[in-house]
């Protein structure tokens, strides 16, 4: 319901101030978050629901000590990179108000929603100029209002008709105020900083509607088929009519096969697709090697999925699922520069395929699960915002399939919990990843990583036997394993990122 288009930051669910360690030492950040859910029944057929959330984050960008200055700015040619003072603020909120109705075979939900997001990166002007040759004050803001309606009507025992639509209007403002250094006729930077402002504002519209039929062919076979139409009117205008069909087959109790095909149309986020005025940075330290930028396009894809789940024993279920996606104008985004904000671009073609194995077990007191997935996403030829890439990297991607930056070969998770009759539950889970991409054109990868978490909770029946108070204690990253998610290299990756350090969390909940 709401999204952030800034960088990534680890957050707790309560207002917190944390001190980071190791290479992130002496960097502080503060986060406040809130969520509300309200529901009331008007009559036996009607319910009104409200959901809302807010997140307000302010943090100082971590520094990397020991870096060598590259430029002279305002007379300064020496600067301690450990003393940089770069800050960022992100604010996100959303509200959803829904009316739900169910009577005589008709299920209807209509809702109004809005969301607001902003991110503001404030540079260290002198320090950023000395190290990067540019100091960019970046502000992005997005405000969206929309309406969505979904309905299902049981025509007969064999057919249920589904239909719906959504329409939204989004206003986006993108402002990049940069302090740059000019270059002379030989390309050498000159210590004469000046300001440029690249700003754009746009109101964009999205519209989508669909109709589908859920057909129970037999007691064992159900087929869903339908059409969806999408229209976008943003920095580019485009539309698509998309067919979908899927089936589930239950030959016997405990065995379920599924298979499906869908055509997808994915518009870019309006605020990430804003155009850049390259004319403002000509003959400066910010002039790109590639001096053109085609507009960001919507992604169009074909998606196939097939799988099966099987109950082996009472409480034990295993499954396998495979998927394949063929995309044209594959959307991706990355952080291209010192500011912790994202910019979108397209690959001409992309393929994404993989398989996942899963298992879960449940009985009265004990629960356990495990899954492992193999995935591969490759793409070729950047066809929008080409100026974000170096000339050699752009040429390499144009003639090779490369791995996208957010893909890793293997990922997995497993966990278990046990609850005693006294109301005490103990749980543990482990996460695993083979490492995201790195290096020139994502030709390398980071080392594998794992993380173990532990939790314990207890229900206290202080006020009511049926509505207990639950106290919970969790340890995130029990063994305080230090691992990198990014190393600052790769496509659209400017800064290193790390997994969370060991953290202790306390929580309380009360059923009403």
Does 399 lie in the same domain as 437?
no
Token pair belonging to 179:
């302090």
Among 83, 40, 77, 46, smallest CA distance to 64 is for: 83
446 or 3, greater pLDDT: 446
Q: Is 66 exposed, middle or buried (0-12, 13-18, 19+ CB in 10 A)?
A: exposed
CATH number at residue 218: 2.40.170.20
| 287-308 pLDDT tens trace | 999 999 999 999 999 999 999 9
Query: Per the domain annotation, does 11 fall within a domain?
Result: no
Q: What is the pTM of this model?
A: 0.87
Does 459 lie in the same domain as 336?
no
What whole-number distance in Å separates Cα of residue 208 and Cα of residue 109? 16
Looking at 22-26, 60-64, 103-107, which range is the least confident one? 22-26
- For strands 424-433 and 87-103, give the pairing: unpaired
- Give the pLDDT band (50/70/90) at residue 116: very high
Beta bridge partners of 379: 350, 402
- Give the pLDDT band (50/70/90) at residue 406: confident
What range does the domain containing 475 cover?
Answer: 422-512
Does 369 lie in the same domain as 426?
no
Token pair belonging to 377:
């996403």
DSSP for 203-231, please give it: EEEEEEEEEEEEEE-SSSEEEEEEEEEEE
Q: Is the pLDDT of residue 148 over 50?
A: yes
Does 505 lie in the same domain as 397?
no
**Vertex 407, ends 406 and 411: CA angle to 5°?**
115
What whole-number distance in Å separates Cα of residue 261 and Cα of residue 305? 7
How high does pLDDT run on average in the chain? Answer: 91
Number of domains in the chain: 2
pLDDT at residue number 30: 64
Q: Is the pLDDT of residue 16 over 50?
A: no
pLDDT at residue number 15: 31
121 contacts: CB under 8 Å, gap ≥ 6: 6, 86, 87, 88, 136, 137, 138, 139, 339, 340, 341
| 206-232 pLDDT tens trace | 999 999 999 999 999 999 999 999 999
Segment 456-472 shows an average pLDDT of 87
Query: Per the domain annotation, does 412 fall within a domain?
Result: no
Torsion of CA 96, 102, 106, 109, to 10 degrees: 0
Beta bridge partners of 433: 411, 449
What whole-number distance in Å separates Cα of residue 167 and Cα of residue 165? 7
Query: Per the domain annotation, does 415 fall within a domain?
Result: no
């Amino acid at each position: 319901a709401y999204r952030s288009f800034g960088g990534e930051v680890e957050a707790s669910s309560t207002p917190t101030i944390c001190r980071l360690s190791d290479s992130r030492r002496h960097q502080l950040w503060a986060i406040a978050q809130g969520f509300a859910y309200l529901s009331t029944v008007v009559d036996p057929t009607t319910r009104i629901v409200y959901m809302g959330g807010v997140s307000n984050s302010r943090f100082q960008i971590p520094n990397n000590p020991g870096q060598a200055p590259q430029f002279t700015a305002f007379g300064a040619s020496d600067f301690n990179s450990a003393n940089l003072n770069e800050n960022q603020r992100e604010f996100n909120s959303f509200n959803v108000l829904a009316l739900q109705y169910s009577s005589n075979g008709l299920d209807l939900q209509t809702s109004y929603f809005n969301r607001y997001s902003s991110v503001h990166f404030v540079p260290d002007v002198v320090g950023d100029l000395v190290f990067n040759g540019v100091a960019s004050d970046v502000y992005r803001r997005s405000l969206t209002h929309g309406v969505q309606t979904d309905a299902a009507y049981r025509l007969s025992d064999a057919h249920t008709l589904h239909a719906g639509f959504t329409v939204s209007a989004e206003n986006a403002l993108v402002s990049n105020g940069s302090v740059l250094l000019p270059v002379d006729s030989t390309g050498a930077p000159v210590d004469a900083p000046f300001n440029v402002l690249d700003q754009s504002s746009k109101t964009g519209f999205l519209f989508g509607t669909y109709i589908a039929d859920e057909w129970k062919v037999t007691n064992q076979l159900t087929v869903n088929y339908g059409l969806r139409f999408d229209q976008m009117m943003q920095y580019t205008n485009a539309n698509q009519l998309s067919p979908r069909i899927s089936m589930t087959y239950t030959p016997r109790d405990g065995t379920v096969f599924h298979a499906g095909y869908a055509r997808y149309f994915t518009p870019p986020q309006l605020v990430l697709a804003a155009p850049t005025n390259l004319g403002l940075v000509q003959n400066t330290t910010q002039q790109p090697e590639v001096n053109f930028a085609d507009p960001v396009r919507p992604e169009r894809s074909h998606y196939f999925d097939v799988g099966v789940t099987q109950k082996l024993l009472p409480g034990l279920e295993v499954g396998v699922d495979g998927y394949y996606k063929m995309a044209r104008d594959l959307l991706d985004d990355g952080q291209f520069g010192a500011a912790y904000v994202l910019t979108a671009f397209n690959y001409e073609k992309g393929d994404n395929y993989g398989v996942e194995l899963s298992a879960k077990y449940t009985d009265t007191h004990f629960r356990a699960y495990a899954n492992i997935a193999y995935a591969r996403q490759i793409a070729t030829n950047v066809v929008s915002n080409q100026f974000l890439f170096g000339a050699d990297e752009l040429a390499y991607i144009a003639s090779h399939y490369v791995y996208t930056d957010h893909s890793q070969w293997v990922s997995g998770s497993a966990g278990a919990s046990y609850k005693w009759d006294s109301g005490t539950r103990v749980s543990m889970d482990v996460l695993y990843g083979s490492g995201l991409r790195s290096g020139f054109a994502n030709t390398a990868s980071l080392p594998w990583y794992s993380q173990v978490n532990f939790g314990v909770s207890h229900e206290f029946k202080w006020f009511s036997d049926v509505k207990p108070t639950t106290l919970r204690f969790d340890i995130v990253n029990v063994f305080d394993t230090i691992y990198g998610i990014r190393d600052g290299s790769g496509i659209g990756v400017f800064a290193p990122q790390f997994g969370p350090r060991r953290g202790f969390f306390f929580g309380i909940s009360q059923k009403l």
